[in-house]
Amino acid sequence: MVSYSKKRLFLASIILLVVVSGGVYYYYQNQLSEVYFTNIVWSPEIIRKNVPVTFSLNITNKGMFDKKLIFEVFLEKVCHATICRQDKIGEFTVTVKRGSVTQVNYTYSFPEEGFYHLIFRSSETSLRQLIYVSPGKSSQSVFRFAVFGDNRPPDAVTPQPAVFKELIRELNLIRPEFAILVGDVIYGYRSDIARLKWQWSDFMSIYDSSIVPIFVAPGNHEMQTEELPESGNPEAQALYVMHLGRLYFAFEYGNSLFIILDTDMVGHASEISGEQLIWLERILKEYRNDYEHVFVFMHKPVISYEGADILNNHDEILPILIKYKVTAVFQGHNHAYYYERVNGTDFYVTGGAGAPLYLRPESGGINHFLIVTVNGTSYDVQFLPIPAIEVADSGNSIRVKYQFDSPYYFRRYDYSWVAEPKPLLLQGVCFSYKSGEKMTIENVLGIIEEDNIICGIIKLKPGEEKTVYARRE
């Protein structure tokens, strides 16, 4: 009896230890670190080669003691074939005061143009920011970018949708210069910090599989905001900043200015107001005349289909966009595709990257993404349903079929719009080869070659199929 009781006591102790350990582990997983980034901004707003840029970082310390931290700064250049390299470009030491926000500045001059991840990392926290370093005023006026939004899962425990994974696969095949995701990248709502961390990890694993650099505009699900302006979760917003960086910013590419806005900043939910509104008007006033096109990106729409949820202060923002003759505004939040032209500005809702659709297919409820081609003074938007590209890879040949071959005619109440299939340029039909091996590919318009990867460029008409062949020597 004594031996049996000891066994039961030992077993109970083991169970208690497991339960307590699990509870302690979950407690720490359900907390942000005591020190974390809450914001990053930079000056000048437009980052150009060989021009010093000062990055201002806000670091919060919610602990009981001051902390002296060493931050290393890394620069990771993004290539079309892969991530090229990560170079350490500096470090700095800062004492982060307890119970407060400490601001620190870091200045750097970028010697080369291109897309980069700028990374600030210490033993306690980190921040990663995608930036584009412009060569300066550019004569490049022909380029492409992709736009899509609302890839979040339907609930807090489901992984990222298969539709979003397929979108990234097709994005890598098309290979535009860059892409912009207009928010709701994770489920967010009703999730504690531990669950949010898992959701971010799941999203970033797919985000990082894109060889196309993707800028992001924040959505309400990431910030856990509701309709009331004062709503939102500061810690959820901090997690966004740690993973994706600045909440609103601008950059130039070719002959165009790109403005990314935050429609759900904590404390200013469902509106563009306060400092951000002042910033927006300043950017438009200062830079509008320098560019052929201005493209604006936001999560909650200013213009959407009848009955849809839109920005609380849309009637304040719309006149500003019209006044400065913004070329086009790309929006998300409403899980459908919609287009409307208002006083010379084009408004798109592109909320079909994988989240549950809100409308029937005939009203725009279709999974999709957009490819935008800028060509001098004109631009064109190409609608692509998901899936649009079928691929069969046999190792030494890749067969590609462009499946979108019939128009979509959309209608909601008395308003109608259309999405027509257009020829599609692919720059990512790729083969890999070993070092020392030679490879040529056939039936292509041109090639892109980097890091033992050779990619064919082909153009497909709607419904067309082509096979690219590889010859190894």
Rounded Cα–Cα distance for residues 401 and 133 (Å): 35
Place of tokens 């066994």: 7
Say what the pLDDT of residue 31 is: 59
Say what the pLDDT of residue 15 is: 66
Place of tokens 């309709």: 227
Say what the pLDDT of residue 30 is: 57
Residue ranges, comma separated, of all CATH 2.60.40.10 domains in the chain are: 32-136
Kindly tell me the burial class for residue 269, based on how many C-beta atoms sit within 10 Å of its own C-beta (0-12, 13-18, 19 or more).
buried
In this structure, which CATH number among 2.40.50.100, 2.60.40.10, 3.10.580.10, 2.40.30.30 belongs to the domain 32-136? 2.60.40.10
User: Which among 224, 346, 356, 247 is positioned nearest to 296, based on CA atoms?
Assistant: 346
User: Which among 154, 199, 187, 148 is positioned nearest to 386, based on CA atoms?
Assistant: 148
Place of tokens 């091996």: 437
- Dihedral of the CA atoms 284, 286, 292, 298 (nearest 10)? -30
Which residues does the chain have with pLDDT short of 70?
1-4, 6-7, 9-10, 12-13, 15-32, 80-84, 139
Dump pLDDT digits (tens) for 103-119: 999 999 999 999 999 99
Rounded Cα–Cα distance for residues 458 and 425 (Å): 6
Residue ranges, comma separated, of all CATH 3.60.21.10 domains in the chain are: 137-385
Q: Which residues contact 268 (CB under 8 A, 6 or more apart)?
A: 229, 274, 276
For residue 211, report the phi and psi dihedrals to the nearest 5 degrees.
Answer: -85, -5
Say what the pLDDT of residue 25 is: 44
Say what the pLDDT of residue 404 is: 98
146 close to 210: Cβ distance less than 8 angstroms: no
Say what the pLDDT of residue 435 is: 85
Question: Which two tokens mark 209?
Answer: 């599989």
C-beta neighbour count of 218 within 10 angstroms = 28
Say what the pLDDT of residue 83 is: 54
Domain covering 137-385, topology:
Purple Acid Phosphatase; chain A, domain 2 (3.60.21)
* Amino acid letter, residue 85: R
